[in-house]
Amino acid sequence: MLIERTEKDIILFTINRPEVRNAIDYDVMKELEKTIETIQQDPNIKAFVITGSGKDAFCSGGDLSIFHKLYTEEEAFKMLSRMGGILYKLLTLKCPTVALINGYAIGGGCELATACDYRIARNGVKVGFVQGKLAITTGWGGGTMLVEKLLHHQAYRMLFSANTYSALEAKEIGFIHEILSDEKWMYEGMTFTEKMIDNCSASVLSAYKEIAITKWKNFNVLERMLEEVSKCSSLWAKEEHHAAVKAFIEKSK
């Protein structure tokens, strides 16, 4: 992972695993959680931006080469609940958060993006909650967060279809908020973030963020995310899921 603090007190977190389309493994989990905790303890940080290295992928979800080894419901729940907990911490982080989607955001990559306040994407990217094609639901609490953030019918359109959407289609649905140029996406993404927070102090930004955090706590979002994790864990253990993952891995070789 590449972690940088800018002059504007923005933390830029780059998932640096381009060889596996920036898939999440246990090391990414550890560094993401560590970074979130550092931000919570620093009163001067004004924003948190997450992106992926290169232009091919923002995040392709969980690393199937590692997580496919999890076979039982209990094994799956241990991994899924850990990442779900990290995404809840990201959701309720005290400062504004931005998913700078530089490339494909698929499956768990969309769940990671959903946890952020803003989702801005390079022109030409594809996004999609494709978990249904692997005979499981969203497993990190992404479905719960999506229903909170999008109109009901638009959220379920993305979840039920298990399809990928272009950046423009995703913006029409409400999942993507801004589309960036192909070549200057990083500059435009960071400029967008800087302009958004420039006139407010870190304490003011935190106070505004608390409005949403209080709502999510009152709406029992954490408990609902854990219920979602539990249901996914049950589906994970079924042969239908293992067969679908095996076929996907074979097709990808």
Residue 206, domain member (yes or no): no
Tell whether the model's pLDDT for residue 4 goes beyond 90: yes
Q: Look at residue 248 in the predicted model and tell me its pLDDT.
A: 79
Residue 106, domain member (yes or no): yes
Average pLDDT over residues 164-175: 97
Average pLDDT over residues 140-161: 97
Strand partners, 20: none
Q: Look at residue 246 in the predicted model and tell me its pLDDT.
A: 83
Q: Which of 82-86, 141-145, 179-183 shows the lowest mean pLDDT across its residues? A: 179-183
In the block, residue with structure tokens 């982080």: 93
Task: Decide which of 191 and 242 is more confident.
Answer: 191
Average pLDDT over residues 156-176: 97
Contact 127, 146 (CB under 8 A): no
Residue 99, domain member (yes or no): yes
What is the DSSP pairing of strand 10-15 with strand 2-5? Answer: antiparallel
Phi and psi, residue 150, nearest 5°: -110, 165
CATH label of the domain that carries residue 54: 3.90.226.10
Question: Which tokens hold the place of 160?
Answer: 């039920």
Residue 250, domain member (yes or no): no
Q: Look at residue 253 in the predicted model and tell me its pLDDT.
A: 64
Residue 9, domain member (yes or no): yes
Q: Look at residue 197 in the predicted model and tell me its pLDDT.
A: 97
Interatomic CA distance for residues 220 and 198, integer angstroms: 32
Expressed as residue numbers, the domain containing 152 is 2-197
Burial of 44 (0-12, 13-18, 19+ CB in 10 A): exposed
SS (HEC) of the chain: CEEEECCCCEEEEEECCHHHCCCECHHHHHHHHHHHHHHHHCCCCCEEEEEECCCCEEECCECHHHHCCCCCHHHHHHHHHHHHHHHHHHHCCCCCEEEEECCEEECHHHHHHHCCCEEEEECCCEEECCHHHHCCCCCCCHHHHHHHHCCHHHHHHHHHHCCCEEHHHHHHHCCCCEEECCCCHHHHHHHHHHHHHCCCCHHHHHHHHHHHHHHHHHCCHHHHHHHHHHHHHHHHCCHHHHHHHHHHHHHHC
Tell me, yes or no, if the pTM score tops 0.85: yes
For the segment 26-72, what is each residue's pLDDT rounded down to a tens digit? 999 999 999 999 999 999 999 999 999 998 999 999 998 899 889 99
Interatomic CA distance for residues 117 and 180, integer angstroms: 17
Phi and psi, residue 62, nearest 5°: -70, 145
Phi and psi, residue 239, nearest 5°: -60, -30
Residue 17, domain member (yes or no): yes
| pLDDT, the chain, mean | 96
Strand partners, 180: 122
Residue 249, domain member (yes or no): no
Residue 189, domain member (yes or no): yes
Q: Look at residue 55 in the predicted model and tell me its pLDDT.
A: 87
User: Considering its fold, how many domains does the chain have in total?
Assistant: 1
For the segment 109-119, what is each residue's pLDDT rounded down to a tens digit? 999 999 999 99
Average pLDDT over residues 184-189: 96
- Buried b / exposed e along 190-217 (16+ C-beta atoms within 10 A): bebbeebbeeeebeebbeebeeeeeebe
